[in-house]
Amino acid sequence: TQLLEQSPQFLSIQEGENLTVYCNSSSVFSSLQWYRQEPGEGPVLLVTVVTGGEVKKLKRLTFQFGDARKDSSLHITAAQPGDTGLYLCAGVGSSNTGKLIFGQGTTLQVKP
């Protein structure tokens, strides 16, 4: 069974601080996605990383896929209150079952 472990589970920081969220597995994924979910809404896709070692930037957010395609990280620079939410990583299994395997999520609170 493929599993994704996210850390930390909770993060409470001040506006302007930097943070990193990790997503790790012992399994290889063909691609990995990062979502953000706000209360009362469904997750919204932020980015998909496909190639080992790939780095993608989305404004102040930097996403990296591990060389072995078993792990990923999300780094936020100068966090703002608008970044508050639940961040989820999700992997598409290399066995190509077509289903997404989600990590437990990281709840981020950015205080003004």
Partner 1 sequence: KAGVTQTPRYLIKTRGQQVTLSCSPISGHRSVSWYQQTPGQGLQFLFEYFSETQRNKGNFPGRFSGRQFSNSRSEMNVSTLELGDSALYLCASSLGHVSVYEQYFGPGTRLTVT
Please, which residue, 84 or 104, has the CB nearer to partner 1?
A: 104
Please, which residue, 35 or 110, has the CB nearer to partner 1?
A: 35
Looking at residue 10, its amino acid is F
User: What is the closest distance, in whole angstroms, from the C-beta atom of residue 98 to partner 1 in the complex?
Assistant: 5
User: Which one among 14, 18, 77, 99 touches partner 1, defined by CB under 8 A?
Assistant: 99
Please, which residue, 22 or 102, has the CB nearer to partner 1?
A: 102
With helix as H, strand as E and coil as C, how does the chain read? CCCCEEECCEEEEECCCCEEEEEECCCCEEEEEEEEECCCCCCEEEEEECCCCCEEEECCEEEEECCCCCEEEEEECCCCHHHCEEEEEEEEECCCCCCEEECCCEEEEEEC
Which residues in 33-62 contact partner 1 (CB under 8 A)?
40-45, 48
Binding site for partner 1 (CB under 8 A): 30-31, 40-45, 48, 88, 90, 92, 96-105
